[in-house]
A and B are shown apart, each in its own frame.
Chain A
Amino acid sequence: MAALPRRIIKETQRLMQEPVPGISAVPSETNARYFHVIVTGPEDSPFEGGLFKLELFLPEDYPMSAPKVRFITKIYHPNIDRLGRICLDILKDKWSPALQIRTVLLSIQALLSAPNPDDPLANDVAELWKVNEIEAIRNAKEWTRRYAMDN
């Protein structure tokens, strides 16, 4: 396999040596640009207690372009669609090469604490989140229990 840019090697080493609390990112054995990620649901959010699996891929021109990240575990969230795609500005037009794998994953974890139904990706979820937040949060807790615990 082609050599990895030093930056990716360095980021990977730091992720292993100084892991971010509540986040684990482990490179695949067969592809060092593909990471198996687990994010714990933040405290005081409807996702608390859940372990959410994600996949993260560093494209060839990383860090000039953003990592590609997707939830694998089903999640009830207005900014994450049923395919696990994430609506987050730093993964799109607000990407900067000074951001890193760890900052991206921290931003995703923060998105779980602060859903933004005004910039939705999952329209039905966002709609309910706006008109009936209590029920939406109940759904999110239910999905967390069903899909993100004991698996």
Chain B
Amino acid sequence: MFTDNQDHDCAVCLQKCHHPTQLPCGHIFCFLCVKGIAIQSKKCAMCRADIPSDYLDHPVLLENLSTLLENTHSDTEQYQWYYEGRNGWWKYDERSNTELEAAFNNGDVECTLLIAGALYSIDFQNMVQVRRSDPTRRRLVRRDHSMLQAKGVAGIKHFDSNKTAQPKSSSENNVNEIINQEAEDEIIEISDNEDVIPIYNTDSSQHEETDDIIQRFSTVNLREPESPTNISSTEDT
């Protein structure tokens, strides 16, 4: 019965559900909206059921990968916007891409996007994305043709034949390999706030070293899914 919700508006963004993602309580939201509530309130927006702290390590997407890829290669959009992430360029989700493209073609100097509950400014002159609440969190962006090799879309990783990590749980819905890059960032950010890992704090303004650290964390998260969970559970207590 819950799958009917896929065609309905997402209760968080009030738009058609985009990469519908189902929480353990059964409620369905856009993938990026789930990301926002899983990081911030940690509760379902409809019923307030707790979202497990490791949910973003293996979210349940209700569409298969081919749908996902078809969506990202729409003929009408000649250009794709990318942001710099772990090991390469990631595509913005289609909705953000449309907004970026419209603002760019309109001659705007910047574009403001609400992504996963956080507000970002994309500065078209310096081609950089800045988080409004924390300007030290910056990423390079680029506008390129949509066939450029990318790591994935908005934190949903493209299927990779030589992948090394398998999702721990193999629910039948979980057909995609999900590497949640933004969520990793959030784990680092939480640690930063709590001063669990002060090294990130001191290096946060230095792009290269930050990347290095993010890279290290990525490795940790990929091969030892327990580690981030441990960090957050320590904080909870």
A binding-site residues for B, Cβ under 8 Å? 2-3, 5-7, 10-11, 60-61, 63-65, 94-98, 100
Which residues in chain B, 109-124, are within 8 Å of chain A measured between CB atoms?
Answer: 110-114, 117-119, 121
Interface stretch, picked from B6-14, B70-78, B188-196, B221-229, is B6-14
Contact A7 B14 (CB under 8 A): yes
Contact B133 A7 (CB under 8 A): no
| Contact bitstring B22-65, A, C-beta under 8 A = 1, else 0 | 00000000000100110011010110100000000000000000
Q: Find the A residue at minimum CB distance from B12.
A: A97
Contact A60 B132 (CB under 8 A): yes
User: With A2-B112, A97-B37, A97-B41 in contact, is A64–B13 under 8 Å at CB?
Assistant: no
Contact A97 B14 (CB under 8 A): no
B127 part of interface (Cβ distance < 8 Å)? no
| Nearest CB in chain B: distance from A63 CB, A | 6
Q: Find the B residue at minimum CB distance from A14.
A: B14
| Nearest CB in chain A: distance from B42 CB, A | 11
Q: Is the interface of A mostly helix, strand, loop or mixed?
A: loop
| Nearest CB in chain A: distance from B106 CB, A | 10
**Residues in A whose Cβ lies below 8 Å from that of B110:** 2
B99 part of interface (Cβ distance < 8 Å)? yes
How far does the alpha carbon of A100 sit from the alpha carbon of B110 in the complex, in Å? 27
Contact A2 B121 (CB under 8 A): yes
**Residues in A whose Cβ lies below 8 Å from that of B46:** 96, 98
How far does the alpha carbon of A19 sit from the alpha carbon of B43 in the complex, in Å? 30
Contact B45 A97 (CB under 8 A): yes
Which of B13, B40, B43, B103 sits near A6, CB closer than 8 Å? B13
**Residues in A whose Cβ lies below 8 Å from that of B37:** 64, 97
How far does the alpha carbon of A23 sit from the alpha carbon of B43 in the complex, in Å? 29
**Residues in A whose Cβ lies below 8 Å from that of B121:** 2
How far does the alpha carbon of A61 sit from the alpha carbon of B36 in the complex, in Å? 10
| Nearest CB in chain B: distance from A4 CB, A | 8
Q: Find the B residue at minimum CB distance from A99.
A: B45
B166 part of interface (Cβ distance < 8 Å)? no
**Residues in B whose Cβ lies below 8 Å from that of A7:** 12-15, 114
**Residues in B whose Cβ lies below 8 Å from that of A60:** 119, 132-133
